[in-house]
Amino acid sequence: MLFPVIMAGGSGSRLWPLSRQLSPKQFLPLADSELSMLQATILRLQALDIAPPLLICNEEHRFLAAEQLRQLDMEKANILLEPVARNTAPAIALAALQASSGVEDPILLVLAADHLIQDVATFHSSIQAALPLARSGKLVTFGIVPTHPETGYGYIEKGADVGDGFAVSRFVEKPDLKTATEYLISGDYFWNSGMFMFRASRYLEELERFQPAIAAACREALAGGSQDMHFTRVDAEAFAACPENSIDYAVMERTSEAVVVSLDAGWSDIGSWSALWDVSAKDTDGNVFKGDVLSERSCNSYIHADHRLVAAVGVEDLVIVETKDAVLVAHKSQVQDVKKIVEQLKKGQRHEHANHREVYRPWGVYDSVDNGHRYQVKRITVNPGAKLSVQMHHHRAEHWIVVSGTAKVINGDKTYLVTENQSTYIPIGQVHSLENPGVIPLELIEVQSGSYLGEDDIVRFEDKYGRA
């Protein structure tokens, strides 16, 4: 039985404005699918003999990850939370230690949550080919059969045959175009996929050998951790002290036991808008349209309309992406530099790099419809059975108008129901809470007024989701 480890900690900044810090690409439906990248990654494992997956993600994504697993009826899957990012070597070490606590020396199948694989049957065949190698103690990586001279990926040079794979001769950094073309012509190189298979004990042994500080910090972090609902939390201080390193640099480039198994299954890491255009279904003019798009004499473009009509006339090789609070226009050849716009947003301390106008919470979602001097308007959706924390605000009052469903309101020492077309008022400084006791989503409009309307003006007294 395989033990899937799914790494979901990336930021996906090159797919801004859809992918953002609090809602990165692995949690988004991309590439002609209604499933998120994470959900598609999990579901393509269904035909294999696997244990419930272990998901590794950043702590700030924990409720988004849990909700997407719940939608797949996978509440038993464990979620391992990283308090800070320390790259893949420590993340996989935590997974190996966690998996070994419940299963004797499991074989880990380490996958990224944000990869597209179009030929699932061939993907399964490569996994089966890798299993005997992993059982024998080899550290297997999956090499993608290159289809063109790509300069955005690292490469793996294959050596002698080893079972159904090859010894790894060397790992190569991202090459220039001339070198990538030579690699393609030679037939001796694979793209480095960042997917792996090995026994937990073998990975930990090699990590202890080459990076003992990482292994020690991860053991200490997990030993000092705790279990909270679906989540395994590690000791934040111990993990923060862990050296930051990738599995390639820490182990795979240094071990003599690395082997590569070929994978030719329509793989893409969808690392940019041009990559997404490459793998999407196109019309006769080479266009990919998502949402409400009208076009006249446009070709070879990717246009995504999230919330309003987007019209394009006579454009070629462009990426146009519209969301509620941002619009991106980029040439397809320049989309790698979208991350530089994200860097500008961060430097300017703007919120658009971090969250959308719609913000997901463990109880539901809110949409910041309007704001101005001393007021803000939100549309709030509370899931059935969910409850906001018992809280108060020092600087704002709130008016709630129920649009649909029924709200159970705590307002000071009073508890009462508010139904459709009814409203209630929460004064400044009043302890209050909001709950959906019904079986349909609760929709309401919240109007805030006051001298300060920031999300950090919340004093929580009680919270069923463990937030501070």
**pLDDT recorded at residue 167:** 96
Residues in the chain: 468
pTM score = 0.87
pLDDT tens digits for range 406-439: 999 999 999 999 999 999 999 999 999 999 999 9
- Whether residue 253 is predicted with pLDDT greater than 90 in this model: the reply is yes
**pLDDT recorded at residue 397:** 97
Name the average pLDDT for the chain: 94
The fraction of the chain above a pLDDT of 70, given in percent, is 100
> Which residues are CB-contacts of 4 (< 8 A; sequence separation ≥ 6)?
42, 45, 50, 51, 53, 54, 108, 109, 111
**Domains of the chain with CATH codes:** 2-268 (3.90.550.10), 273-341 (no CATH), 358-462 (2.60.120.10)
- Sign, Cα dihedral of 281, 317, 174, 84: negative
- Selection from 396, 398, 380 nearest residue 435 by Cα: 380
Q: What sections of 108-240 are H helices per DSSP?
A: 120-135, 177-186, 200-210, 212-223, 236-240
Upper half-sphere CA count for residue 197 (Cβ side, 13 Å): 27
**pLDDT recorded at residue 10:** 82
The fraction of the chain above a pLDDT of 90, given in percent, is 83
pLDDT class of 48 with cuts at 50, 70, 90: very high
Mean pLDDT score, 248-260: 95
Bridge partner list, 411: 414, 432
pLDDT tens digits for range 378-403: 999 999 999 999 999 999 999 999 99
- C-beta atoms surrounding 293 within 10 Å: 19
